[in-house]
Amino acid sequence: MVADYSSEAGRATGPAHPLTVLGLETSCDETAAAVVRLSTDGGATVLSSVVYSQIDEHAAFGGVVPEIAARSHVEMIDGVVRRAMDEAGLDFAALDGVAATAGPGLVGGVMVGLSYGKAVALARGLPLVAVNHLEGHAVSARLGQKVAYPFLLLLVSGGHCQLLEVRGIGDMSRLGSTIDDAAGEAFDKIAKALGQGYPGGPALERLAEGGDDTRFALPRALLGRKDCDFSFSGLKTAASRLAQACETEQDRADLAAGVQKAIARQLSERAHRAMQDWREVRGTVAARPLLVVAGGVAANRTVRAVLEATAAKNGFDFLAPPMAYCTDNAAMIALAGAERLQLGLVSDIDVAARPRWPLDEDKALSDPMHKPGRKGAKA
Nearer to ligand KG4, 147 or 256 (CB): 256
Nearer to ligand KG4, 97 or 184 (CB): 184
Nearer to ligand KG4, 318 or 325 (CB): 325
Binding string, residues 155-194; x marks residues near Zn ion by CB under 5 A = --x-------------------------------------
Which partner in Zn ion, ligand KG4, none is near 136 (CB below 5 to 8 A by kind)?
none
Length of the chain: 379
| Sequence letter at residue 158 | G
With CA atoms as reference, report the closest residue to 203 among 211, 191, 190, 212: 191
**61 three-state secondary structure:** helix
Is 327 near ligand KG4 (CB under 6 A)? yes
Which partner in ligand KG4, Zn ion, none is near 23 (CB below 5 to 8 A by kind)?
none
Using CB under 6 A, which of 149, 187, 232, 316 touches ligand KG4? Answer: 187
Q: What is the DSSP string of 182-237?
A: -HHHHHHHHHHHTT--SSHHHHHHHHHTT--TTSS----TTTT--S--B--HHHHH
Which partner in ligand KG4, Zn ion, none is near 188 (CB below 5 to 8 A by kind)?
ligand KG4
Which range touches Zn ion (CB under 5 A), out of 146-154, 201-209, 230-238, 328-336? Answer: 328-336
Residue 198: partners with Cβ closer than 8 Å, 6 or more residues away? 55, 58, 59, 62, 63, 188, 191, 192
Q: State the nearest-atom distance from the C-beta of 186 to ligand KG4, in Å.
A: 8
- Phi, psi (5° rounding) for residue 307? -65, -40
| Sequence letter at residue 20 | T
Beta strands at 44-53 and 128-132: parallel, antiparallel or unpaired: unpaired
Which range touches ligand KG4 (CB under 6 A), out of 239-247, 249-257, 292-300, 364-372? Answer: 292-300
**Are the beta carbons of 107 and 79 closer than 8 angstroms?**
no
Using CB under 6 A, which of 97, 158, 176, 358 touches ligand KG4? Answer: 158
Nearer to ligand KG4, 85 or 183 (CB): 183
Q: What is the DSSP string of 252-280?
A: HHHHHHHHHHHHHHHHHHHHHHHHHHHHH
Q: State the nearest-atom distance from the C-beta of 198 to ligand KG4, in Å.
A: 8
Is 31 near Zn ion (CB under 5 A)? no
Using CB under 6 A, which of 10, 23, 295, 358 touches ligand KG4? Answer: 295
Nearer to ligand KG4, 113 or 201 (CB): 201
Is 333 near ligand KG4 (CB under 6 A)? no
Rounded to whole angstroms, how far apart are CA atoms 80 and 34?
Answer: 9
Residues that bind Zn ion (CB under 5 A): 157, 328
